């Protein structure tokens, strides 16, 4: 299977969980595609040395990262995937692309912005199956900001091997597929690491003096939260997850896995030297070296190292600074979409680390998600009862939420697994409050970037400590100009509140975007309006229970 996932192109319903394209767009049936862009991708394993260390990676048409899709708003993109390699199955909306098979994804790019696609099964994203999508406004329409040129970069972390125990910290941070591992590290097998390999020469962005540059940035790290910085340059944030932001300045941009941003930088008046671009791991006490790239001032040589040390960056454990930046995001004054003033349902998800049958898992309200073999969408649409637990729903609040001490290791570490889902009334308004806690390690609470498929949501607020349902909505929610996103950070020992309208028919996963956390159960599934969908195409079927093999 090639497990991409088209999460949020709302005009495209069925081919959704094998190509994940990070675009959250309101349903717009009136959009008329101006043209169709036909793409053909071969996906296969190959050997690459992105940080000088040679290992197996996943490539698309031989490219790593995968090809960048650039198109105009209103275009239709048709991607024919040929699966040259073998892997497993998915469980949300469709079955896997079998080895040697082809599969066509067709979707309308109905909102300009910066987006991504990536693998969404097992550890495939961490092996390199990802890329960016840049959707531009029609030529006759202007952005709410001015710039001369634009560039884009994808930030990822990179592992040399993924052990079947706690994964540990990554060996490298890659800036658009390039990093630098120390080939003199003890224990490195001779011949596997070559510091002069051109595949690991630093990524370089060439600019000219006295210009405004738009830099589109995406993060698809498997574990790491990053602080992004350009030496001696101030960034103005103008876009987040495809939504325009009321502009604000920052020296360093905190970026969480699954997020995209656009920033503007003003280049220097002269081109005397180049400058460092740096991506540093924060929120974890990591020994992973910074990812480094070069801001190249023409006519200086593109790979000429700056004469300075890279910027140090913020402290890894400065949680308050990260929360301050999270609270700075507001919808652009000309693009505010007010949220509904109230919601129909409130779900409080207590994020905990637990033991299940002796193994470590992540849980929500003491339930760790196990995905079924039969995709939910197929089971629900074709009435394949017993394909998953469709008789119960996950708890909407932890059974002991009021008494739960979020700052201590839980006395009862045991949790259970389930594949039950939340059934939402179509077009209802749902509040989800994410509450962070201590892990099973004393004095450790991890950062979790949460992503919702199929929808944008309003980010209502962030808080430190334990969420109070009787007080925080009135005192700490922003209902005036909240930003709309599809990925949001949950900070250590804190809470994050979001609101969305369940107006996109289908089955949608809401999960931590850290691959290992998702694989170990840190997710829930929402269903709404499946009965409104037409008959499902046969191309997404063939695994688990089907009408042909189902016996009630």
313: left (phi over 0), alpha (psi -120 to 50) or beta: left
C-alpha to C-alpha distance for 431 and 496, rounded to whole angstroms: 11
* CA 515/CA 230 separation, integer angstroms: 28
The DSSP bridge pattern shows strands 204-207 and 235-240 to be unpaired
The answer to whether the CB of 292 falls within 8 A of the CB of 180 is yes
Strand 212-219 relative to strand 260-266: parallel, antiparallel, unpaired?
Answer: antiparallel
Other CB atoms within a 10 A radius of the CB of residue 155 amount to: 22
Phi-psi region of 358 (alpha: psi -120 to 50; beta: other; left: phi over 0): left
Element (H, E) at 510: strand 506-512
Q: Name which of 172, 483, 218, 176 is nearest 328 in CA terms.
A: 483
* CA 176 remoteness from chain centre: 16
- Which tokens in the block code for residue 438? 């201590």
The DSSP secondary structure of 53-109, one letter per residue, reads B-EEEEEETTBSSPPPEEEETT-EEEEEEEE-S------SS-PPPPTT-EEEEEEE-
Exposure letters 85-104 (e unless 16+ CB within 10 A, then b): eebebbbbbbbbbeeeeebe
Q: Please give the sequence-ordered ranges of beta strands (E in DSSP) within 327-482, or none if there are none.
A: 345-356, 359-364, 367-369, 416-418, 422-423, 429-435, 448-452, 457-464
Measured CA distances, 215 to 41, 206, 329, 538 (Å): 26, 12, 18, 41
SS3 call for 152: strand
Q: Mind listing the pLDDT tens digit of every residue in the chain (552 residues)?
A: 333 443 344 333 233 333 443 333 333 333 444 688 999 999 999 999 999 999 999 999 999 999 999 999 999 999 988 877 644 335 677 777 777 788 888 888 889 999 999 988 778 889 999 999 999 999 899 999 999 999 999 999 999 987 756 788 999 999 999 999 999 999 888 889 999 999 999 999 999 999 999 999 999 999 999 999 999 999 999 999 999 999 999 999 999 999 999 999 999 999 899 999 999 999 999 999 999 999 999 999 999 999 999 999 999 999 999 999 999 999 999 999 999 999 999 999 999 999 999 899 999 999 999 999 899 999 999 998 889 999 999 999 999 999 999 999 998 888 999 999 999 999 999 999 999 999 999 999 999 999 999 999 999 999 999 999 999 999 999 999 999 999 999 999 999 999 999 999 999 999 999 999 999 999 999 999 999 999 888 887 878 777 666 555
pTM recorded for the entire structure: 0.93
């Amino acid at each position: 299977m090639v497990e991409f996932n088209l999460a949020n192109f709302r005009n495209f319903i069925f081919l959704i969980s094998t190509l994940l394209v990070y675009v959250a767009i309101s349903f717009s049936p009136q959009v008329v595609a101006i043209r169709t862009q036909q793409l053909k991708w071969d996906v296969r394993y190959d050997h690459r040395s992105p940080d000088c260390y040679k290992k197996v990676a996943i490539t698309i048409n031989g490219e790593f990262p995968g090809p960048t899709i650039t198109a105009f708003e209103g275009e239709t993109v048709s991607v024919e995937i040929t699966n040259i390699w073998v892997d497993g199955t998915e469980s949300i909306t469709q079955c896997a692309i079998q080895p040697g098979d082809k599969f066509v994804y067709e979707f309308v790019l109905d909102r300009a912005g910066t987006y991504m696609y990536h693998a969404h099964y097992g550890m495939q994203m961490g092996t390199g199956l990802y890329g960016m999508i840049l959707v531009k406004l029609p030529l006759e329409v202007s952005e709410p900001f001015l710039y001369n040129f634009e560039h884009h970069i994808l930030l990822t972390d990179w592992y040399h091997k993924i052990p079947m125990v706690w994964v540990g910290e990554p060996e490298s941070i890659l800036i658009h597929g390039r990093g630098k591992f120390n080939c003199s590290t003890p224990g490195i097998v001779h011949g596997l690491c070559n510091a002069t390999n051109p595949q690991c020469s630093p990524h370089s962005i060439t600019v000219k003096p006295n210009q405004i540059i738009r830099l589109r940035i995406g993060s698809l790290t498997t574990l790491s939260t990053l602080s992004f910085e350009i030496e001696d340059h101030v960034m103005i944030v103008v876009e987040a997850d495809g939504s325009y932001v009321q502009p604000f300045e920052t020296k360093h941009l905190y970026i969480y896995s699954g997020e995209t941003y656009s920033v503007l930088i003003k280049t220097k008046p002269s081109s005397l030297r180049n400058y460092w671009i740096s991506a540093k791991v924060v929120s974890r006490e990591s020994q992973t070296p910074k990812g480094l790239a070069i801001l190249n001032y023409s006519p200086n040589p593109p790979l000429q190292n700056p004469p300075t040390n890279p910027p140090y960056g913020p402290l890894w454990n400065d949680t308050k600074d990260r929360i301050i930046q999270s609270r700075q995001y507001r919808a652009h004054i000309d693009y505010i979409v007010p949220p509904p003033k109230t919601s129909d349902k409130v779900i409080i998800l207590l994020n905990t680390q637990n033991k299940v049958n002796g193994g470590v898992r992540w849980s929500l309200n003491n339930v760790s998600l196990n995905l079924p073999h039969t995709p939910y969408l197929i089971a629900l649409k074709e009435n394949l009862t017993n394909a998953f637990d469709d008789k119960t729903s996950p708890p909407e609040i932890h059974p002991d939420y009021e008494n739960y001490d979020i700052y201590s290791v839980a006395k009862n570490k045991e949790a259970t697994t389930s594949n039950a889902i939340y059934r939402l009334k179509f077009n209802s308004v749902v509040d989800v409050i994410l509450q962070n806690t201590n892990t099973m390690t004393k004095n450790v609470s991890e950062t979790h970037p949460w992503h919702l498929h199929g929808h944008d949501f309003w980010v209502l607020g962030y808080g430190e400590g334990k969420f109070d349902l009787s007080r925080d909505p009135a005192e700490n929610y922003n209902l005036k100009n909240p930003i709309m996103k599809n990925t949001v950070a949950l900070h250590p020992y804190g809470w994050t509140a979001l609101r969305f309208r369940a107006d996109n028919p289908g089955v949608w996963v809401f999960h931590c975007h850290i691959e290992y956390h998702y694989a170990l159960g840190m997710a829930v599934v929402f269903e709404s309006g499946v009965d409104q969908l037409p008959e499902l195409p046969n191309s997404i079927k063939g695994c688990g229970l089907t009408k042909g093999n189902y016996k009630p």
